[in-house]
């Protein structure tokens, strides 16, 4: 069974730019466990639901949880951000400014 979950990120008054280049990954990781991030995830079936995760959660772990919540068999799911493209499953959510945005859930092996 092939599945595509689309996550939509709605723009808010806050910027959803990636972490600035002068912010090291180590500094981002320190901030990652300090708070949560809430964003909307869309699927290929038209599901759209808001999810909240700790910022230190890896993209792949969050995508697997969303896929499970939508009833998909998790097989390397990830998120696609309208500005960032496909998010790295091994990076923490804190590396991306997702709060209040919408992303698409996709199966990494299938591409976007």
Residue-wise pLDDT for 62-78, tens only, equals 999 999 999 987 788 99
13-27 average pLDDT score: 39
| C-alpha to C-alpha distance for 76 and 17, rounded to whole angstroms | 25
Q: Check whether 10 has a pLDDT greater than 50.
A: no
The second-level CATH assignment, the architecture, of 25-110 is Roll (3.10)
Query: Against a cut of 0.75, is the pTM above it?
Result: no
Domain range annotation of the chain = 25-110
CA atoms within 13 A on the CB side of 62: 32
Average pLDDT over residues 81-103: 94
């Amino acid at each position: 069974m092939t599945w595509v979950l689309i996550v939509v990120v709605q723009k808010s008054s806050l910027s959803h730019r990636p972490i600035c280049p002068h912010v090291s990954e180590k500094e981002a990781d320190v901030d990652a466990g300090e708070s949560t991030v809430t964003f909307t995830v869309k699927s290929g079936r038209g599901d759209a639901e808001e999810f909240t995760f700790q910022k230190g959660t890896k993209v792949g772990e969050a995508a697997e949880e969303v896929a499970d919540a939508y009833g998909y068999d998790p097989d390397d799911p990830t998120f696609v951000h309208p500005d960032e493209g496909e998010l790295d499953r091994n990076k923490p959510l804190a590396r991306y400014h997702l709060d209040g945005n919408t992303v698409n859930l996709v199966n990494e092996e299938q591409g976007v």
